Amino acid sequence: MYTPPADLVPLRTADGSFTLRSEALGEQYHSVHGAVQESRHVFLAMGLDLVKKDPVDLLEVGLGTGLNALLTWIAAEGRGGAVRYTALEPYPLSREALSRMDHPAACGDPAKGGVVLDMLTAAEGAWQRMSPHFSFRRRATSMLALEDVAAYDLVYFDAFGPNTQPELWTEEVFRRLHRAMRPGALLVTYCAKGDVRRAMQAAGLAVERLPGPPGKREMLRARK
């Protein structure tokens, strides 16, 4: 069972943006080949950009450092539609750890610095309307306890990898997500392992392999 690491340290990735690295886990929150470019490729280009709905109800599994949420907020402003963003994160990072990432500067929107930290560290469960185009809430709900039904148009599946959190990459979990997704909804993840793809398919999702971000050959996208 996953235990939150106590040895997280900032690590600069190849595109200049930061992630957090745990030597105890042998894992980091983002690709060392570029945290921002990985998130933009996997979650925006292969996910959000293809969802032609307004509003978009979005579920993220694994809020982490909040990079996907920030990039989605910025993208929502450009799209002109609304995104309602729900993040499942039972183990939120501290404000200090989040501030060391300086994601707003890396994403080209340094003015969001303080307000992003307020958003990510606000009380669990409460909706925050950050702009006319973006609302956010963090839920402490474990993915293994998710009971939502037909609630989401898009899922960002961004948990630590199967070697670190194997309990989150199972057919049971993807069945819960299948139930939580609306017809036609998409699920995107950086992972491309064969057993993960087969677990998604067994849960009733239609799965395709796509080109991955820099440093990774493939990723997966699934549709209900």
Q: Are 42 and 213 in contact (CB under 8 A)?
A: yes
pTM score, whole prediction: 0.96
Across the range 180-198, mean pLDDT stands at 98
Domain boundaries, the chain: 34-223
Q: In which band, very low, low, confident or very high, does the pLDDT at 122 lie, cut at 50, 70 and 90? A: very high
User: What are the backbone angles phi and psi of residue 142, rounded to the nearest 5°?
Assistant: -75, 145
Across the range 5-19, mean pLDDT stands at 92
Query: What DSSP element (H or E) covers 59?
Result: strand 56-61
1 has pLDDT over 80: no
Across the range 133-156, mean pLDDT stands at 97
Q: In which band, very low, low, confident or very high, does the pLDDT at 24 lie, cut at 50, 70 and 90? A: confident
The two structure tokens encoding residue 108: 């080209």
pLDDT digits (tens, 9 = 90+) for 26-84: 899 999 999 999 999 999 999 999 999 999 999 999 999 999 999 999 999 998 899 99
Q: In which band, very low, low, confident or very high, does the pLDDT at 105 lie, cut at 50, 70 and 90? A: very high
5 has pLDDT over 90: no
CA distance 222 to 224: 7
pLDDT digits (tens, 9 = 90+) for 194-215: 999 999 999 999 999 999 999 9
Percent of residues, the chain, with pLDDT higher than 90: 94
Instruction: Give the fold, CATH level 3, of 34-223.
Output: Rossmann fold (3.40.50)
SS3 150: coil
Instruction: Quickly tell me which residue has 């939150």 as its tokens.
Output: 4
Cα separation values, 166 from 4, 121, 170, Å: 14, 27, 7
Helix axes 67-79, 113-120, angle to 10 degrees: 120
Q: Are 210 and 177 in contact (CB under 8 A)?
A: no
- Average pLDDT over the chain, rounded to whole? 95
